[in-house]
Amino acid sequence: MGKKLLLQHDHVPGIHTLQVYRDHGGYSALRKALSSMTPEQIVEEVKTSGLRGRGGAGFPTGMKWSFLAKPPGVPRYVVCNADESEPGTFKDRYLMERIPHLLIEGMILSSYALGANTSYIYIRGEYYYVANILEMAIAEAYAAGLLGKNILGSGFDCDLYVQIGAGAYICGEETALLESLEGKRGNPRIKPPFPAVAGLYGCPTVVNNVETIAAVVPIVNDGGAAYAAIGVGRSTGTKLISASGHINRPGVYEIELGVPVEEFIYSDEYCGGIRNGRRMKAVVAGGSSVPILPADLILKTSNGEPRLMTYESLADGGFASGTMLGSGGFIVMDEDTSIVKNLWNFTRFYHHESCGQCSPCREGTGWMEKILHKILDGHGTLSDVDLLWDIQAKIEGKTICPLGDAAAWPVASAIRHFRSEFEEYVKRGSSIRDVKHYFRLNNLPEPVA
């Protein structure tokens, strides 16, 4: 059983309440920080820990914090990105539902470390009920003197607010989130300037996701060196993984980074193997925006070593034979899965969620959706597969924010590893059309492609 730092008490009855959270060591990190640590010392501990952003990019958190500008007389802000909209990812929701005070304690610690007296949790609109849980926990914290003026007699003031978004995937991008938080349309900003210099209301701002901020609590409690001792190489600490798809035990798992992918999929401690005794066909390891890998490549690196659940091991081989840990949205597909139909579903999502600001993304996502629908409907040609490849290449790296890349990478990897499946749909075109025509003529639900 691996070490747990965030979810060790997730099944304790009443852990969402302040009293039970405190009974299990809650807010001890805050007391330690305010009584015996300077803000600079907390930043150094986070640097020592090697904690990397858990929202997808994996950028070193302590380094990001050190970039924060500190002009005199100008307020600073800490913003929590709780806009968990990546398909296949639900671990932040679980953490906020079960242990909301862990996030709140992390927010206060981060605010103290960065000199922010006002902080925000920006949460997606579909998580309205989770926002209510957070609001109740925040009210408890205010009543106990853990938020507001002169927290625990330290002289540090901190106010914390929850802001509910309107359910736009694009607002998971930090600058689009800040635009929305300011009451504007959630379009990504051109960088530079970066939020660390000109973020919320034009002031220095740090944006981190839920899991990243929660991890600050055990780092302060146990020390950055203890956190860095867990994991492998530059992938330190633990990671929450949202496991779903054709597995026996879907759910949220906290793993020590470095667990072999094969162990994570097949051991009873985690996913418990492929359901119904079927074989594994493919895996999306880090949410829908990362490259899909066939079964053989997800289990072994380019040199034949077991692939590990780390940032480096999953990326081994580049996009030719590797993928990304991303947000930890681990989707397993069995042998009966249609890669083409799954890709069409992903592409429909990215077309719908594009903000439309950049032409390659606005137009390209729509073209990819239409071509995939054409192939699935039995009207595709072999040249359509080449056209898909050409379109994704013209989107990647040519947009203001990473949504364009997120839409392009699944298409590129699906064609790279499963091109024969696309060609099979093309060859079966007439039979697919005949079957669909029969079902439509008789007002019957169409069969799954």
pLDDT in tens, 45-78: 999 999 999 988 889 999 999 999 999 999 999 9
Question: How much is the average pLDDT of 261-284?
Answer: 97
Q: What percent of the chain has pLDDT over 70?
A: 96
Q: Is the pLDDT of residue 436 over 70?
A: no
Percent of the chain having pLDDT more than 90? Answer: 92
Asked if pLDDT for residue 435 goes beyond 70, the answer is no
Tell me, what's the pLDDT at 322? 94
Rg (CA), the chain: 23
Rounded Cα distance, 248 and 41, in Å: 44
**Residue 442: what pLDDT?**
59
What is the pTM for the complete model shown?
A: 0.93
Q: Is 113 within 8 Å of 45 (Cβ atoms)?
A: no
Instruction: Kindly report, residue by residue over 364-419, the tens digit of the pLDDT.
Output: 999 999 999 999 999 999 999 999 999 999 999 999 999 999 999 999 999 999 99
Q: 372: which residues sit within 8 A by CB, 6+ positions away?
A: 340, 343, 344, 347, 388
Question: What is the pLDDT, as a whole number, of residue 302?
Answer: 85
Lowest mean pLDDT among 19-33, 113-127, 144-158, 423-437: 423-437
Q: Is the pLDDT of residue 361 over 80?
A: yes
Instruction: Please determine, for residue 429, whether its predicted confidence score (pLDDT) is greater than 90.
Output: no
Question: Of 266, 234, 228, which Cα lies nearest the Cα of 248?
Answer: 266
Where is average pLDDT lowest: 245-254, 343-352, 429-438? 429-438
For position 440, what pLDDT does the model report? 67
Q: What is the model's pLDDT at position 207?
A: 98
For residue range 288-341, list pLDDT tens digits in order: 999 999 999 999 998 889 999 999 999 999 989 999 999 999 999 999 999 999
The average pLDDT across 88-104 equals 97
- Domains of the chain, each with CATH number or no CATH: 18-229 (3.40.50.11540), 232-334 (3.10.20.600), 339-441 (1.20.1440.230)
Which pLDDT does position 57 carry in this prediction? 83
Of the candidates 310, 332, 341, 326, which has an alpha carbon nearest to the alpha carbon of residue 402?
A: 326
Block residue for tokens 């991303």: 326
In this prediction, residues 243-250 reach a mean pLDDT of: 98
Rounded to whole angstroms, how far apart are CA atoms 126 and 352? 16
- As a whole number, mean pLDDT of residues 143-150 equals 97
* CB-facing half-sphere around the CA of 224: CA atoms within 13 A: 14
Write down the pLDDT at residue 431.
76
Q: What does pLDDT average to over the chain?
A: 95
Exposure letters 295-333 (e unless 16+ CB within 10 A, then b):
bebbbbbeeeeebbbbbbbbbbbebebbbbbbbbbbbbb
pLDDT in tens, 219-242: 999 999 999 999 999 999 999 999
Given a contact cutoff of 8 angstroms between Cβ atoms, the answer to whether 110 and 151 are in contact is no
| Mean pLDDT on 175-198 | 96
Task: Measure the CA–CA gap between 220 and 365, rounded to whole angstroms.
Answer: 43
Residue 49 exposure: Cα atoms within 13 Å on the Cβ side: 28
**Spatial contact of 42 and 224, defined as CB atoms under 8 Å apart:** no
pLDDT at 139: 98
